[in-house]
């Protein structure tokens, strides 16, 4: 719905001076006696940051809503994200995979931003600064980033996760120039609609969590904000969903956000598989001992140790891990493969952090280093991820090789 139609349906309204010059990235929705001015932005665009400040200064709203949660706002405003990051605690909580995906997505966004001379999220921070300058209350309306990432990750199957990782890595290593004109095209409604449709087809669960759920969350938070005139600064990909929800005749009814604000538990299927494989291996070794003798069972146990330990250690060697990390990769893999509680990759990543903790400069240069293959071995933070992925993959291969051999010997 364009401005003229909205004005006709809402009756005479006193428009702020300068509003007539708004570009198509600005949408206005009127519900009852309230007015919502939505600014769709590209998160790596200097032009978007300038537009945000201009709209807020023209509108002088009662409240400014921003697509940020408290954690992301603190990171942008204080620039202390990396200094406060506790890698050891993240590994203990088994959140390293989620952190890796989050960092890769953030690094890709930063890569684009560097080409345009702007820090990712500048326009969101600019919205809070403009509101502060005019003494206007600010509402942080986005869902917690950790909740979003974990819901997205757990909503995908193994194949989808691999497709996402490959796609993000391909984008990081691709050296393609992106101009403000390209970003302007991406902010156009028809292009965004096409992109959203493609995402829904390729990864429907990811689109549901990253777009649809957050559309609902953002809309409800915007609706709950105080005041008659609200300016909301959101990513352009959320514009259509939010506008549609605000214009919905049933949209005045409160929405319960609890269901989309919790982290879903791990699927019971994975728990069954996780405990089932160790049970089969251990049970087979016991049966071999009973039917074929302790010596044969011992030989199979040694095969299991070597089948797991050697590939995991080779993975750590390829990662150029610390010598202690390599040794413990060999020791840990045969044990961790028999329990779903923790994987070999988490053990080796934890030991690598203890032996060679990342430096501040490693975090600061992540955006540049992540797109260069050689830097994955030079940047200590990226090497932690290599020490997580490669030994874990080696242990995974060893589990299937060792398990197949033991089960085969059970029937000999």
On average, the pLDDT of the chain sits at 80
Q: Which residue has the higher pLDDT, 193 or 336?
A: 336
pLDDT of residue 116: 47
Q: What is the pTM of this model?
A: 0.69
Total length of the chain? 412
Find the mean pLDDT for residues 195-207: 66
How many C-beta atoms surround the C-beta of residue 88 within 10 A?
Answer: 12
Whole-number Å distance between alpha carbons of 359 and 371: 19
Helix (H, G, I), strand (E, B) or coil at 31: strand
pLDDT tens digit sequence for 302-311: 999 999 999 9
Under DSSP, the state recorded for 95 is -
State which of 180-194, 272-286, 384-398 shows the largest mean pLDDT.
384-398
Please, are residues 62 and 133 in contact by the beta-carbon 8 Å criterion? no
Between the CA of residue 229 and those of 11, 53, 214, what are the distances in Å?
16, 16, 22
Find the mean pLDDT for residues 397-402: 92
Question: DSSP secondary structure string, 308-371?
Answer: HHHHHHHHHHHTT--HHHHHHHHHHHHHHTT-SSS-HHHHHHHHHHHHSPPPHHHHHTHHHHTT
The conformational region for residue 182 under phi > 0 = left, psi -120 to 50 = alpha, else beta, is: alpha
Q: In 117-238, where does DSSP find H-type helix?
A: 122-133, 145-155, 158-173, 180-186, 189-202, 204-207, 214-224
Helix (H, G, I), strand (E, B) or coil at 22: coil
Residue 36, strand partner residues? 29, 230
Cα 64 versus chain centre, distance: 25
pLDDT tens digit sequence for 133-162: 999 999 999 998 888 888 887 887 777 777
Please, are residues 305 and 299 in contact by the beta-carbon 8 Å criterion? no
Please, are residues 264 and 151 in contact by the beta-carbon 8 Å criterion? yes
Whole-number Å distance between alpha carbons of 399 and 147: 31
Out of 61-65, 234-238, 392-396, 399-403, pick the least confident: 234-238
Return the domain boundaries, the chain.
3-260, 268-410
pLDDT(188) > 90? no
| Residues in CB range of 172: below 8 A, 6 or more apart | 104, 107, 108, 111, 370, 371
Whole-number Å distance between alpha carbons of 197 and 204: 9
pLDDT of residue 334: 93
Confidence of residue 272 (pLDDT cuts 50, 70, 90): confident
- Going by C-alpha positions, the residue among 241, 240, 242 that lies closest to residue 230 is 242
Please, are residues 10 and 205 in contact by the beta-carbon 8 Å criterion? no
Question: DSSP secondary structure string, 215-254?
Answer: HHHHHHHHHHSSSSEEEEEEEGGGHHHHHHHHH-TTTTS-
* Tokens matching residue 107: 């690094």
Out of 11-15, 61-65, 378-382, pick the least confident: 11-15
Whole-number Å distance between alpha carbons of 272 and 276: 6
pLDDT of residue 232: 96
Find the mean pLDDT for residues 231-237: 90
Q: Which residue has the higher pLDDT, 364 or 294?
A: 294
């Amino acid at each position: 719905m364009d401005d003229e139609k909205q004005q006709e349906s809402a009756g005479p309204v006193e428009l702020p001076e300068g509003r007539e010059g708004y570009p198509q990235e600005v949408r206005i929705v009127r519900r009852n006696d309230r007015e919502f001015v939505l600014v769709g932005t590209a998160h790596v665009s200097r032009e978007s940051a300038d537009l945000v400040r201009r709209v807020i200064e023209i509108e002088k709203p009662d409240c400014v809503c921003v697509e940020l949660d408290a954690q992301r706002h603190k990171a942008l405003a204080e620039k202390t994200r990396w200094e406060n990051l506790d890698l050891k605690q993240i590994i203990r909580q088994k959140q390293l995979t989620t952190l890796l995906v989050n960092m890769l997505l953030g690094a890709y966004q930063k890569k684009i931003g560097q080409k345009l001379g702007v820090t990712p999220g500048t326009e969101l921070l600019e919205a809070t600064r403009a509101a502060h300058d005019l003494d206007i209350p600010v509402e942080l309306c986005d869902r917690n980033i950790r909740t979003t990432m974990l819901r997205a990750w757990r909503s995908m199957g193994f194949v989808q996760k691999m497709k996402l990782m490959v796609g993000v890595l391909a984008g990081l290593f691709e050296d393609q120039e992106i101009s403000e004109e390209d970003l302007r095209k991406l902010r156009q409604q028809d292009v965004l609609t096409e992109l959203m449709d493609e995402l829904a087809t390729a990864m429907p669960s990811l689109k549901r969590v990253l777009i649809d759920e957050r559309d609902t969350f953002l809309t409800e938070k915007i609706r709950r904000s105080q005041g008659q005139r609200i300016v909301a600064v959101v990513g352009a990909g959320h514009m259509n969903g939010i506008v549609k929800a605000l214009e919905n005749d049933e949209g005045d009814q409160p929405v319960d956000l609890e269901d989309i604000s919790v982290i879903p538990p791990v699927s019971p299927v994975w728990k069954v598989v996780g405990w089932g494989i160790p049970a089969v291996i251990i049970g087979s070794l016991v049966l071999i001992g009973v039917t074929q003798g302790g010596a044969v069972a011992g030989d199979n146990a040694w095969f299991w140790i070597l089948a797991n330990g050697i590939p995991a250690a080779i993975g750590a060697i390829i990662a150029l891990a610390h010598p202690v990390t390599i040794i413990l990769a060999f020791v840990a893999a045969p044990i961790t493969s028999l329990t779903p509680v923790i994987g070999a990759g988490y053990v080796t990543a934890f030991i690598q952090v203890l032996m060679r903790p990342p430096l501040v400069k490693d975090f600061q240069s992540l955006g540049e280093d992540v797109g260069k293959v050689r830097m994955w071995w030079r940047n200590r933070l990226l090497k932690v991820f290599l020490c997580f992925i490669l030994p874990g993959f080696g242990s995974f291969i060893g589990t299937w090789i060792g398990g197949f051999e033991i089960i085969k010997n059970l029937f000999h």
